Structure 1
Amino acid sequence: MKFIKNLLFTALAILTFSSVQASEKFEPTWESLQKFETPEWYSDAKLGIFLHWGPQTIPRMGGWYPRNMYNEEHKAYKSHLKNFGHPSEVGYKDIIAMWKAEKFAADNLVQVFKRAGAGFIVPVATHHDNFDHWNSVHHDWNSVKKGPRKDIVGLWRDATLKQGLRFGVSTHLARSYSWFQPSHGADTKGPFKGLAYDGSKPENQGLYHETHGDTYLFYPKNPSKAFVASWKNRHLDLIDNYQPDLLYWDGAVPFEEVGRDIVAHLYNENIKRNGNNEALLCYKPIRGTHGDFRDGIGVMDLERGTFLKAQKTTWQNDTSIGPWFWDGRARKDYRQVNEIVDMFVDLVSKNGVLLMNIPLKPDGKMDETTRAMLAKLTAWTTINGEAIFKTRPWIKYGEGPSIHQAKRAAHAVDTKVVEGVVFETKDIHVRDTKLDPLGSQDIRFTASKDASIIYAFVMDWPSDEDLLISSLSQENTGAIAAVELLGHGTVSWSQDSAGLKLKLPASAPSDYASAFKIKLK
């Protein structure tokens, strides 16, 4: 009886996860936008590549350099003064001029990402620095008129579609109005005391905005009508001319009805092209400092975060293999492939999708450490991809010591506040950078869409030749027809009330987590 209930639960869940999106037009109201249903292509894809890349990579000091270089106490200011000059004359506008993207080859990069298993590509279209990476109709500070003199977003889009992948864009523009205001200040001491930075000069305010005094780190408290109008028009331009299937926002929904109007426009334009909506907004469950949040209008995104249990709807973890923007730091700070694979498998078992950032060098190339990592990931997905891509959650996401650790953490951490940021979500989640390594007793599960196959990942290869997976008892699964180890072949097995007992080969077929394919009768 328990098996029948579990099978019905899984089948019902799969019907929910793969439901067809209605073609009804969306209105810019919360009620209308909450009719959103996750597109099946996205739930199938599991892996996307995020690309933080832009003028910020020139100084090699991170994505917040454009703001920090105007803080006389910050190391970015001191580095800028030494390497480029005082920001009263040589400002971020001049860093933009140095960005040439001279070795950027989108076709070659997307081919590498596709081989690793990526189903969609998401380049940053504009960051906090108010610089558009496309042929922006409404903003002269763009990559066609300045810097590389190339339509960066257009090149990414063409290369992505050529490989048959889905194309997305991210915009981080909403906070720019206040975030960039330090560029209007001046030194308070030293030889340059009182000398105004270049952001205060009228001829530069197309980039730096007008002087208004609000230096808030997050979404501006009182943005001008002109800035909100510019934000809206640039989004409409991006959606209409580059037709992304995914729009990522670095926060929740900004600017009230204006923000909701952009979400509705994204979905409605996609309906015009496809007959039904295949687009999605990725947004964060944060309220107050980053706009307004309502559940169910898109896909919930946790920046460098993961849930501690499976979710009913598809969600996303966006994280990076190292810093968000390439900064030339020693490669020892990059994530190891084993860590990436563990995180990937774990979140897929919980109905998650991984959006993994690849920081490119200023010239547009990957460094050798990144290339080596992607080669290893490609080798792993070639063997184990069947158990990841196009799968759905099973009735349990996993078993093992890490499950008990997560339960203990759930009692110890405030479910609403994580590292000082208020999240609008009932289920606890943690930073993916704080997760404990998964071991040989940790198992993660996925299932085929029709629930006829269960995939069981052993997260580290056991030293013992015998492995017991207690969740796969006959009571939970019903009768099993066959078991094989992906990349190896059939293995000896038996099943009873204690679970599924496997006889392991002497060595693992891949260097990281290994997947068993369990066919049900």
Structure 2
Amino acid sequence: MRELKSEGWAVGTALLLLLLLAPAAQAVAQRRYTADWQSLDSRPLPRWFDEAKFGVFVHWGVFSVPAWGSEWFWWHWKGERNPAYERFMRKNYPPGFSYADFGPQFTARFFHPDQWAELFQAAGAKYVVLTTKHHEGFTNWPSPVSWNWNSKDVGPHRDLVGELGAAVRKRNLRYGLYHSLLEWFHPLYLLDKKNGFKTQHFVSAKTMPELYDLVNSYKPDLIWSDGEWECPDTYWNSTAFLAWLYNDSPVKDQVVVNDRWGQNCSCHHGGYYNCQDKYTPHSLPSHKWEMCTSVDRSSWGYRRDMTLSTIASENEIIEELVQTVSLGGNYLLNIGPTKDGLIVPIFQERLLAVGKWLQINGEAIYASKPWRVQSEKNVTIVWYTAKDAAVYATFLYWPENGIINLKSPQTTSTTKITMLGLEGDLTWTQDPQEGVLISLPSLPPSALSVQYAWTLKLTKVK
């Protein structure tokens, strides 16, 4: 009887504790964010983004039809009245040809989303970001507020956003959506601009309905906002949207956003920071960031007039990736498909080169953290990362004498040093002045698994 009583007391105590703890647990689970930057900026960044490290960016739209100059074709032609663009149109298109006339030629005839997704997976990407709408306003999904200027009504007659999303997610890749807040020539945007952005006709009728529709329809893991620079975030109603996104949307727990939500937001507010296109800090930032860049250094969209001189080399891309990750960032590498939906061979080649490198060296990249020292330079350039109990040193150039010295790591009696992609331990010595002197394998370059940027793994170092 006494045992039953004590057992009952224990059960009662446990129930009481649960009742006392329940409100606290519920409060943590149901934390609400208010529509102001102080509250929104306090939201922890979902872990998947920092662990992913590498993503592929895709700029694709009606600008892929003229495929000349850049994805800003319409603005350069009609907004700036750039003589080179006017000459291009006179030479190649009949009089009276409008930008809208390019729409039906955006066919996506050879767009096979599974092939794209296979390529992105082979590239080692962990997330993919597709342009749902650039500044031209054409939407790559059947937007209910973009009548006759979307991929279902015009051109492909397909839901490009939905098709790629399904293919990407089949391969367990995260799916992000780029969306431009502004549209250069939308009448309501031009009206708001004329009113000094004291009215919000465009935001109410176009921008916000589309953002809510994208989230509810496609449940993106990431929203890559752009086109914010002409107006403050109060014009865009950015904080109200983000409060809904974090509190009540179907993706509230895993969604990640960038920092382009209004004038002066970049590098200050939002989720992770882009700061500016191709942003590269010189030291370790205190906030999670992402470098976005393009294989074609002169354009984000596909250009028929691109030349090999503007294409980033395999080595340049890998060096940027290594540097970015060592400084705590993610690397988002862009390609621009053709109007037909083809990814041209040079873009495929660059992506596959990154994938081949990551197959060997990905251990030093994915889910890594910046080390206490990010880089050092002697006879080669070395970038450090850390994960679990290991420190990784990726060096960009193979020293002629076959010996690499690392000044930053402090070895112990149990230190082991290996090279990713090769079996066996490397021999090393500790020099009081030079640091750790590591003898690299005496192998011909053809025997090495990669031809540029090799990674040493150091365990039991300080």
Q: Same fold (TM over 0.5)?
A: yes
Q: Give unmatched runs, 5+ long, in structure 2.
A: 1-27
Corresponding residue to 1:504 among 440, 451, 455: 440
- Give the deviation of 1:150 after TM superposition: 0.9
In the other structure, the counterpart of 1:109 is 116
* Residue from 315, 319, 332 that aligns with 1:355: 332
- From 270, 295, 313, give the equivalent of 2:268: 295
Picking from 78, 97, 101, the partner of 2:87 is 78
Deviation at 1:263, TM superposition (A): 1.7
Aligned to 2:9: none
Q: 1:120 to 1:237 in 2, by over 3 A?
A: same
**Equivalent pair of 2:326/2:384 in contact (CA under 8 Å):** yes
Aligned to 1:464: 401
SS, match of residue 471 in structure 1: coil
How big is the shift at 1:109?
0.9
* CA drift at 1:75: 1.4
Q: Is the 8 A contact 1:99 1:147 kept in 2?
A: yes
Give the percent of matched residue pairs that are identical in Structure 1 and Structure 2. 26
- Pair 1:227–1:210, CA change in 2 (3 A): closer
The structure 1 residue matched to 2:342, chosen from 365, 385, 397, is: 365
**Contact 1:394–1:446 (8 Å) recurs in 2:** yes
Q: Is the 8 A contact 2:181 2:227 kept in 1?
A: no
- Give the one of 138, 143, 161 matched to 1:136: 143
Which amino acid in 1 is paired with 2:311? Answer: Y
Query: What is the deviation of 1:211?
Result: 6.2
Return the alpha-carbon distance in structure 1 between the equivalents of residues 335 and 313 of structure 2.
14
Superposition map of 1:480-495 within 5 A:
480-489=414-423, 490-495=425-430
Which residue in the other structure is 1:45 paired with? 52
Residue 120 in structure 1 maps to residue 94 in structure 2: no
After superposition, where does 1:276-291 map in structure 2 within 5 Å?
277-284=253-260, 290=263
- In the TM superposition, 1:208-227 aligns within 5 A as 209=188, 212=191, 221-222=196-197, 224-227=199-202
Is it true that 1:161 corresponds to 2:185 in the alignment?
A: no
Query: Given the superposition, is the C-alpha separation of residues 99 and 291 from structure 1 closer, same or farther in structure 2, using an over 3 Å criterion?
Result: farther
Read off the aligned partner of 1:254 and give its amino acid letter.
D
- 1:50-449 paired onto structure 2 within 5 Å: 50-61=57-68, 62-70=70-78, 71-86=80-95, 89-140=96-147, 141-174=149-182, 176=183, 179-180=184-185, 209=188, 212=191, 221-222=196-197, 224-229=199-204, 230-250=206-226, 254-256=233-235, 258-269=237-248, 272=250, 277-284=253-260, 290=263, 292=265, 295=268, 297-301=270-274, 302-322=276-296, 323-328=299-304, 329-400=306-377, 440-448=379-387
Contact kept, 8 Å, 1:445 with 1:457, in 2: the verdict is: yes
Taking structure 1 as the reference length, what is the TM-score of the superposition? Answer: 0.75
C-alpha displacement at 1:292, in angstroms?
Answer: 4.0
| Shift in CA distance, 250/480, structure 1 to aligned 2, threshold 3 Å | farther
1:516 aligns with 2:452: no
Q: TM-score, normalised by structure 2?
A: 0.84
Offset, 1:473 = 2.5
Shift of the alpha carbon at 1:495? 2.8
**In structure 1, C-alpha distance between the alignment counterparts of 2:46 and 2:360, rounded to whole Å:** 26
> Shift in Å at residue 22 of structure 1?
6.3
Q: How many pairs align?
A: 417
Distance in 1, Cα, partners of 2:189 & 2:385: 52
**Matched-pair contact (CA < 8 Å) for 1:491–1:504:** yes
Equivalent position SS for 2:384 = strand
CA distance in 2, matches of 1:326, 1:397: 35
Please tell me whether Structure 1 or Structure 2 has the larger radius of gyration of its CA atoms.
2
Give the drift of 1:72.
4.3
Residue-by-residue CA offset, 1:270-300 (whole Å, 9 max, x unaligned): 5x55xx722111124x97xx46457353100
Q: Deviations over 1:62-98 (max 9, x none)?
A: 1111122225442112211222223xx3211111121
- 8 Å CA contact 1:135, 1:143 repeated in 2: yes
Which AA in structure 2 matches 1:337? E
Stretch of structure 1 that moved more, 261-270 or 46-55: 261-270
Render the CA deviation track for 1:310-360: whole Å, top value 9, x for unaligned: 123321011101120111212332100100000110010000001110111
Q: Deviations over 1:392-430 (max 9, x none)?
A: 1111111116xxxxxxxxxxxxxxxxxxxxxxxxxxxxx
Q: CA separation of 1:211/1:503 partners in 2, compared to 1, >3 Å: closer, same or farther?
A: closer
Q: Which residue of 2 aligns with 1:404?
A: none
Note closer, same or farther for the CA distance 1:291–1:395 as it changes in structure 2 (3 Å cut): closer
